[in-house]
Structure 1
Amino acid sequence: MQYHRGMAHRHAPPPPPRAMNPHPKLSADAIIPPRRNAPGIAHAGETVVAIGTSTGGTQALETVLKALPADAPGIVVVQHMPEKFTATFAERLNTTCRIEVREAKSGDRVKAGRALIAPGGRHMLLVRRGGQYAVEVVDGPPVNRHRPSVDVLFRSAAQCAGANAVGIIMTGMGDDGACGLREMFDAGAHTVAQDESSCVVFGMPRVAIELGGVRVVLPLARIAEVISSARPR
């Protein structure tokens, strides 16, 4: 019997309808608008370090923060974690690090010897108050399907700290933080990505590198020395 190719498709069921995505992927614009053609930034006199990480980040952050001296530059961190877990995580790090580590609250000052970790379920922005940096913790929709979002933190650092900032993107799945790190790069910040061999998941650093927002790629073991040596520019 002769086989007719068309017969195999004649009675095939139609493909199922595509489901609507109930969680659209929003950019940092949903929380903090981009700044276009802005005048030069009047920098505060201190260096500020912004770190973003996700999958594998709890261990990576512990490695970095434990290696820092007590007078390390002020640090702000977004680690993708659920609500109520970030406070416990910060408390644990505070007992093992020479710097102070705590969950951020609105108005907390960013200063040498302190790391502020964004609370789960809320975004964290870096703001400038006169010659000092502080943080604001705000509500809002997830950005890149995350709250807190690394992109939100990095954009705020680009806008208020410019070349006085250091941006570091570490192990994590997806692309949150990649666009924000490029904005920091464009604003003159020193930007660093963790290398593939030391990442649990190379997703976030890989996309940041592809977007051209990374000045240096380093293994995890060398990131603390970059932070320790950072000085205002």
Structure 2
Amino acid sequence: MNRKIRVIVVDDSALVRSLLAEIINRQHDMECIGTANDPLVAREMIREKNPDVITLDIEMPKMDGIDFLGRIMRLRPMPVLMISTLTERGAEVTMRALELGAVDFVSKPRVGVANGLTQLSNEIVEKIRIAATAHVHRMVKPAAAAAAPAGTDAAGAPAAAKPPVSSATLLGRVSTEKLIAIGASTGGTEAIKEVLTQMPADAPAIVITQHMPPGFTTSFAARLNSLCQITVKEATHGERILPGHAYIAPGGKQFAISRSGANYVAVVDEQAPPVNRHKPSVEVLFKSVAQFAGRNAFGVMLTGMGADGAVAMREMKDAGSYNYVQDEASCIVFGMPREAIAHGAADEVLPLTQIAHALLGKLRASPDVRHRI
């Protein structure tokens, strides 16, 4: 119980290696047991020292971090925390790293690295602690098909435009009031993908809060949009929330819903404070869903650290929603689902791979739905 978390730092910058090692070694519950300047050195160090967590840079000589991560997750899966630069390309590559099995990431500053990493020290060590408890799994399927950029199919050809969802194909007049709300944090990008890729083009509107900083949710939404039958986008303030669409909370902004007549409308607020230390916060979204959707809502709580959204998910249930919570065995981190269950917010606790199927079955069986999905 008292054993320290053993960390290996992999980064081609001597300064970054030194700073990260210092930050780690200042903690009472962790130690840096080695640093490596490239993946080939890191590979031997991992074999020799068997760390609990690796921090891994993306751009390195000899073998980049993405290639190295893929090999780790295929051959010797372990918790990996990515260190990525906050650029457009960095965001896209970070999404790729999460697909390959990285537990989480920290945005490395482009300039002022020493001061920047020092300011990020609390976030770094917190994410190392989370990574040390994460359930990681061996990557068994090839990643090539998943690597196609947004707007292309798996073969790299331009993706066909998604046909507009006709009101005649929707679930009927009442169905436009149905709403699915999803909350997630650590490990959530892949969990959300698992659910959304099973949704048909005429699914009810879906609103999503995934804990993610500014600069990354645009790439996340674009990636999902390239893979899903529904249209996936970042939410923008004041837009109507439509069936056949999923709306991602923008990083660094609070996302909620409201009503304008019979329609749901997105509320995106950059000035609103963090809630439960998060911005966006699942609590904010779920509270608004409880208020404005009530019994027409379905809640989904996926993998994540902490308790964000648990209280509001219970409010959703009390308002008449039907809620699904991911089970412990399929979670990367069971914190948020555990808290939702503890608050009595769950109607069903299911493995990740069963949630979309159960949700669609519930929608089809709904007595006020006149058309089928």
Q: TM-score range by the shorter chain?
A: 0.7 to 0.9
Q: Are 1:113 and 2:248 counterparts?
A: no
Mapping of residues 154-193 of structure 1, within 5 Å: 154-193=286-325
TM (norm. structure 1) is: 0.79
Alpha-carbon shift at residue 111 of structure 1 (Å): 1.8
Question: Where does residue 52 of structure 1 map in the other structure?
Answer: 183
Counterpart of 2:263 (choices 120, 132, 137) is 132
Moved more, 44-53 or 145-154: 44-53
Structure 1 segments, 4+ long, off by >6 Å, are: none
Contact kept in structure 2, 1:158 and 1:184, CA below 8 Å: yes
Alpha-carbon shift at residue 228 of structure 1 (Å): 2.7
Distance in 2 (alpha carbons) for counterparts of 1:196 and 1:75 = 24
Distance in 2 (alpha carbons) for counterparts of 1:192 and 1:62 = 16
Contact kept in structure 2, 1:72 and 1:227, CA below 8 Å: no
Moved more, 62-71 or 113-122: 62-71
1:232–1:52 Cα change, 3 Å: farther
Mapping of residues 31-46 of structure 1, within 5 Å: 46=177
Q: Are 1:70 and 2:197 counterparts?
A: no
Counterpart of 1:222 (choices 334, 339, 354) is 354
Tell me the SS of whatever aligns to 1:155: helix
Counterpart of 1:102 (choices 233, 258, 263) is 233
1:187–1:165 Cα change, 3 Å: same
Distance in 2 (alpha carbons) for counterparts of 1:107 and 1:232 = 31
Distance in 1 (alpha carbons) for counterparts of 2:358 and 2:275 = 28
Q: Are 1:85 and 2:216 counterparts?
A: yes
Contact kept in structure 2, 1:127 and 1:134, CA below 8 Å: yes
Tell me the SS of whatever aligns to 1:110: coil
Question: Where does residue 329 of structure 2 map in the other structure?
Answer: 197
Alpha-carbon shift at residue 45 of structure 1 (Å): 5.1
After superposition, the C-alpha distances for 1:182-229 in whole angstroms (9 at most, x for unaligned) are 000110100111011110000000011001111111111111123434
**Equivalenced residues, count:** 191
Contact kept in structure 2, 1:44 and 1:133, CA below 8 Å: no
Distance in 2 (alpha carbons) for counterparts of 1:232 and 1:99 = 24
Distance in 2 (alpha carbons) for counterparts of 1:127 and 1:87 = 23
Amino acid at match of 1:156: S
Question: Where does residue 75 of structure 2 map in the other structure?
Answer: none
Higher helix share: 2
Tell me the SS of whatever aligns to 1:50: strand
Distance in 2 (alpha carbons) for counterparts of 1:110 and 1:137 = 12
Q: CA RMSD in A?
A: 1.5
Contact kept in structure 2, 1:51 and 1:168, CA below 8 Å: yes
Distance in 1 (alpha carbons) for counterparts of 2:175 and 2:203 = 17
Distance in 1 (alpha carbons) for counterparts of 2:239 and 2:349 = 30
Q: Which has the higher contact order (CA 8 A, sep 6+)?
A: 1
Contact kept in structure 2, 1:54 and 1:172, CA below 8 Å: yes
Distance in 2 (alpha carbons) for counterparts of 1:108 and 1:80 = 21
Structure 2: unaligned runs, 5 residues or longer: 1-173, 369-373
Question: Where does residue 3 of structure 1 map in the other structure?
Answer: none
TM (norm. structure 2) is: 0.50
Structure 1: unaligned runs, 5 residues or longer: 1-42
